[in-house]
Structure 1
């Protein structure tokens, strides 16, 4: 199967950024970005106001139903704002990765080495975009569907909105309801675009760096006394990949921290809503939970991948035919092994390393929050 070009891999991400008012090859941020950010901020303010107005021990179920939408809105706007702040660094990183990918496609061995990973990341992102597209469609269009159903069943028109918001006027009239409804679903799509684009960029950039570590490991493993002259080039390439890994962590360390902090709360609230909430929203809860779990899992898997692939460079150096090399080459190989022993990591602003362990910790923390919520909700003297 023919591998896609770098432009094809980044096509959807670049298109999403353009819709949001950002161009990766242009340092200018367009008016759309500021407009969408203000619209989303106002929507979040309306949701948070409604949430605060309902804070009470008697409204735990309702609050758990409202919380995920508030959390994902806050998360999406924070992630996109900090990515824009790192826009120039992103542009430089993407440009470097494009050149490396182009070189890999020109080499038959390297192309075959990364083929599976490139095709897998394309499939993963396609399903991720589809899942979140279905999720936002369910949330956006469920309100009018329930309105129609209620009208047919009881001959009574009850105006419903897709997201609970507190606005300074009544929405029990067609004109005001339609304005708030259109505004709400527009903000829903902006929110989805914000965080899916950020996640897709994270996954593709991390995958590309991992692929280049794999290519480097393959070159190192084939080192011997006959091609020892290429050792200097390999060292330079290794240092270059270490720099790109550091840049990647610098770009995403704050978004990763937000994911880490908010993810546990989202899973807890969605789990509580699934077990005790309104069953008419069951499909939305399930899709939302799947989206959050997939988002955190993707973050963890690619974080683990970069740890594994960067460590393999040292393992490949140990397994190469270094016995027949001269003393200088042996010292260089040893230095490469020592440096590779300190694997590259993506972090949540240095508070935690993004890996399988962080995924387990998020799930564990979510379960702890969930059991506390269940205990608070149940009458005293009963336990889960």
Structure 2
């Protein structure tokens, strides 16, 4: 019986459906499979990155032609998030085999545990499911709000301008260089739809890969907590049998090693994209916060406010789940201490002590060994973002003066 992973995976598969990533399907290196299962991803990749290249060109041209700081910082966060979406999805595509192996590891661990008659274990699993569902729902709401605001704000601006002046001034969600005039009515509808779909792709790719990360972390943390429960009760109050204990203890040691291996596998899939996420998050938060305070238009300000919430939530949850992995792995050591080790002989207690010492070294996720993924890293990112924000405000003041 699958406890958590398959049920949670089904709830996020829709995020990958229109992106063109098939999480739980074996894709062979044949022309038929590549065309069938990779063509949609390639089309979306090209669709999105034509805009990314054009955004970069706009930033370069804007800097060379003396565009204002507000205009430049308007587009930079969007470009950065597009690049983050690319790296996150490519980490799944290029690590396709590792992703399948991780799925197999998590399923095997869950299917080998029976919780039907265990009230405590049921609560551990149910609590994990509830929290994960709440996180995914919150992300869905914020992403939907961000998509709507970025898509609708130009239309609202055009409506207000028409009401004020009686003329329609065509506006697009993003500032992008095109080889034609995108504000020509012949091209504007296509460009508008192109940018809106690109926005959807970015939000879906980032939230999809993150939700898969949260799902994997939740499954792993649940396994650590179930292991802790079994360790705490491995020594009965009466009728201790050393032979039975050795057999059970060996099974627990194998389970412990399997859970730690799944952390290593998850680390190998996400570590590079996490490094880019860490490096860019301070810029994203800083520039988006700056836009919220600097833009005069209420529609665009609300758009960037939702963008800011999404950026903060995205990096916070990444660090939160990394911290949860570390904490739950180290709590195995506490479970050993609470296992009535003092009621058994020294030889048995020694076995417990060895595992206790190993558990004190946490299983952890890193940003390509540059930094540990935990809540301390989140505070550092916020601190750096605030420093950049203060610098931008200082640069903006002389310009306005």
TM-score (ref. length: structure 2): 0.90
Residues 286 and 386, structure 2, Cα contact 8 Å, conserved in 1:
yes
- Equivalenced residue count is 379
The equivalent of 2:118 in structure 1 is 108
Structure-2 residue corresponding to 1:270: 288
For residue 245 of structure 2, the aligned residue among 228, 248, 252 is 228
- Residue of structure 1 in register with 2:175 after alignment: 164
* More divergent stretch after superposition (22-31 vs 113-122): 22-31
**Is contact 2:326–2:362 with CA below 8 Å preserved after alignment?**
yes
Give the corresponding residue for 2:103: 94
Q: Give the distance between the partners of 1:234 and 1:205, measured in 2 at CA.
A: 21
Report if aligned partners of 1:64, 1:273 keep a CA contact under 8 Å in 2. Answer: yes
SS at 1:24 equivalent: coil
Change (3 A) 1:35 1:92: same
Q: Is the 8 Å Cα contact of residues 209 and 241 (structure 1) preserved in structure 2?
A: yes
Q: 2: CA distance between counterparts of 1:27 and 1:7? A: 16
Residue in structure 2 matched with residue 124 of structure 1 by the alignment: 135
Q: Aligned partners of 1:35, 1:51: CA distance in 2, in Å?
A: 25
Instruction: Check conservation: 1:264, 1:363, Cα contact below 8 A.
Output: yes
CA distance in 2 between partners of 1:321 and 1:77 (Å): 51
The residue aligned with 2:32 is none
Question: Tell me, which stretches of 5 or more residues in structure 1 are unaligned?
Answer: none
2:386 is matched with 367
Which residue in 1 is equivalent to 2:363? 344
**Cα separation, 1, equivalents of 2:215 and 2:172:** 36
Instruction: Report the counterpart of residue 13 of structure 2 in structure 1.
Output: 14
Tell me the equivalent position of 2:73: 64
RMSD: 1.9
Q: 1:79–1:258: 8 Å Cα contact kept in structure 2? A: no
- Are 1:48 and 2:56 counterparts? yes
**Counterparts of 2:114 and 2:146 in 1: how far apart (Å)?**
37
Q: String of CA shifts for 1:295-351, please: whole Å, max 9, x gaps.
A: 011011111111110001011112211223344422221110111011011111110
Counterpart of 2:324 in structure 1 is 305
Instruction: Say which SS state the counterpart of residue 26 (structure 2) adopts.
Output: coil
**1:35 and 2:43 matched:** yes
Give the 3 Å change call, closer, same or farther, for CA 164–327 of structure 1 in structure 2.
Answer: same
Of stretches 126-135 and 360-369 in structure 1, the one that deviates more from structure 2 is 126-135
- Please state how far the C-alpha of 1:159 moved relative to its aligned partner: 0.8
Do the aligned partners of 2:158 and 2:170 also contact (CA within 8 Å) in 1? yes
Displacement of 1:7 in angstroms is 3.4
Q: Name the SS for the 1:378 alignment partner.
A: helix
Q: 1:379 to 1:149 in 2, by over 3 A?
A: closer
Distance in 1 of aligned mates of 2:227 and 2:152: 49
Measure how far apart 1:5 and its partner are. Answer: 5.8
How far 1:374 moved relative to its partner?
1.7
So what's the TM-score if we normalise by structure 1?
Answer: 0.94
Structure 1 match to 2:82: 73
8 Å CA contact 2:5, 2:215 repeated in 1 = no
- Which position in structure 1 is the counterpart of 2:223? 212
Moved more, 27-36 or 68-77: 27-36
Q: Which residue of 1 aligns with 2:353?
A: 334
For the residues of structure 1 that align with 2:191 and 2:316, how far apart are their CA atoms? 34
Q: Does 1:260 align with 2:278?
A: yes
1:45-93 CA-partner distances (Å, limit 9, x unpaired) = 1111111111267611111111111111111011101111111111221
Tell me if the contact between 1:36 and 1:190 (Cα under 8 Å) persists in the aligned partners.
yes
